A and B are shown apart, each in its own frame.
Chain A
Amino acid sequence: MEGINPLVIFFASIFTSNMILANFLGMCSFIAVSKETKTSLGLGQAVTFVLTGTTILNYFIYHYLLVPFGLEYLRFIVFIITIAAFVQLVEMIVERYLPTLYYSLGIFLPLITVNCAILGVAIFMVIRDYNLLQSIAFGIGSGIGWMLAIVAMAGIRQKIKRAPIPKGLEGAGITLIITGMMALAFIGFSGIVNIQ
């Protein structure tokens, strides 16, 4: 993928190849935390930070450790281990130095460990054969895209709090339906550029 400009990848991963709305990755924390815009923004920032960090880390581990030894098939387990350790490290740092963010995220921070968007980005990076710069752009862009989707969803959920939603659809049900509608809306961007 030598040809694609990192900037194109960056914008494409926010809009046309959004992790949530195009790939439906990282749904569990997306649905669990998208009740308030403030918390969503916090989690979105944390996901963006973790995505960027782990993508860079996984890029180096993949290209300088797994490829030279011919161990590409180990990428799933290695990526997962790296992500888990990185999230734990971030949790310690956030708890110590950014207490306000820590308290607003609370128990949701460890959720990032099992956020498949993080693993998804690392895998896509390998499958699409991105170079370092492209990977960084893809990591940051995917994080911002995820944040955009969750903040937008939180805004909508706050607005529909008093809407007469059928009892059986309250909570996760209506959230999934709205996600589908948002995904349809985002299809509008897909003609601009495609990085798949």
Chain B
Amino acid sequence: MYNILITVAVITGITAVLALILTWADVRIADYGERKIVINNDKELVVEGGNTLLSSLIANEIFIPSACGGKGTCGYCKCKVDSGAGPVLATELTYLSDSDMKNNVRLSCQVKVKDDMSIQIPEDLFNVKQFKGAIEIAKDITPTIKFLRIKITDGQEIDFKAGQYVQLLAPPYGDSTEEVFRAYSIASSSFEKNFIDLIIGYVDGGILTTYVHKHLSEGDKVTFNGPYGDFYLQESEVDVVLVAVGTGMAPIRSILYEMLHKKIDRNTIFFFGARTKDDLFMLDEMKMFENELPRFRFIPCLSRPREEDNWQGHVGRVNDAIFKYLEGKDSTEAYLCGSAPMIDSTVNALIDKGILKNNIFYDKFD
């Protein structure tokens, strides 16, 4: 008994003393005082030194996209740091290209604010805000895809360009013990400022998709931030090719609503890929766009139609449909949204059709 007590006492004593020393060191040695961050040579922030640049900016309500929440694993939170960042860290190297290195681009989640800093971030990011909302509509539109309408409930309005995305937060739930952000394109019209629509596919084991598909229901409260992204409809008069597969429909739907609201009359063709008829959705809306937009054409393509689908439309992948239906001009603009392999093969197909690479814009899922 004596042995047990003395063992516990000694171990507790040693760990307590060490913990005290570390706490003292954390307060005294790791205290970097107040530091200044100058953004775009204009705005100045005073922050607590010693934290990462990403968390310092978030604390000041400047939201840089970060899907992994600052763990240095997504590579999204890049920003230009002109001074005060110190040398590039080994943890950043994987995500920085040669041109990033030349231009002082750093991963803001890895860089710590230990000195005064001067950074450059896109002006658009000042428009990024955190929103609180409630699920107004949650419905399955295919066996694996859910449609969400999130009403903004904190009195703010969202201002975005059709094609941009937001980051939705999954709070800790079930086996997932930490907060996780994931990016989803806004599917609603940019003229609707009180709500956003999202189209979210189920990924087996995905933290956020499981949260959305298995845990969220109408009335639940959610948090998201945005808008982000430079994928949006360019202002011009030339022909438009839209290509999407599955949930890639989201930004394209938003672009179509923008065309509808702004009465943009451009020669537009939309190739939408799915496997079977069950995987097609929003066909009524597409019909509506075909009726309302004078020169819009919707071409659904089924890659594996079943016999019972009785499918009369195009059979094959979107690439085959592009080959068959598209008359490419070098001025034509193309907007693509889907998985990386789909984007890569579609870009090649469009270039084969004579569309210039510079006129092809895409939003690639990782």
Contact = CB atoms under 8 A, between A and B. Distances in A.
Given A69-B10, A74-B11, A99-B86, A85 B22 contact: yes
**Chain B: interface residue count, which band?**
20 to 34
A102 to B, nearest CB: 9
B121 to A, nearest CB: 23
Summarize A's interface: helix, strand, loop or mixed.
helix
Given A69-B6, A71-B6, A99-B86, A82 B25 contact: no
B86 A89 contact: no
Interface residues of A, number: 23
A169 interface: no
Interface string B23-51: 00110011010000000000000000000
Nearest to B13: A65
Contacts of B348: none
Contacts of A92: 25-26, 29-30
Contact of B10 (A71, A89, A103): A71
Contacts of A69: 6, 10
A61 B11 CA distance: 11
B14 A103 contact: no
A81 B15 contact: yes
Nearest to B17: A85
Contacts, number: 52
Nearest to B90: A106
A61 B14 CA distance: 9
A178 to B, nearest CB: 23
Interface string A71-93: 10010011001100100110011
Given A82-B18, A106-B91, A93 B10 contact: no
A71 B2 CA distance: 12
A22 interface: no
A10 to B, nearest CB: 28
Interface string A84-121: 01001100110110010001001110000000000000
A65 B10 CA distance: 8
A77 B11 contact: yes
Contacts of A61: 14
Interface in A49-83: 61, 65-66, 69-71, 74, 77-78, 81-82
B89 A106 contact: yes
30 contacts: A61-B14, A65-B10, A66-B10, A69-B6, A70-B3, A71-B6, A71-B10, A74-B10, A77-B11, A78-B10, A78-B14, A81-B14, A85-B18, A85-B19, A88-B22, A89-B25, A92-B26, A92-B29, A92-B30, A93-B25, A93-B29, A96-B29, A96-B32, A99-B86, A103-B86, A103-B89, A106-B91, A107-B89, A107-B90, A107-B91
Given A70-B3, A81-B15, A106-B89, 12 more contacts: A78-B10, A81-B18, A88-B22, A89-B22, A89-B25, A93-B29, A96-B32, A103-B86, A103-B87, A106-B91, A107-B90, A108-B90
Interface of B: 3, 6-7, 10-11, 14-15, 18-19, 21-22, 25-26, 29-30, 32, 86-87, 89-91, 114
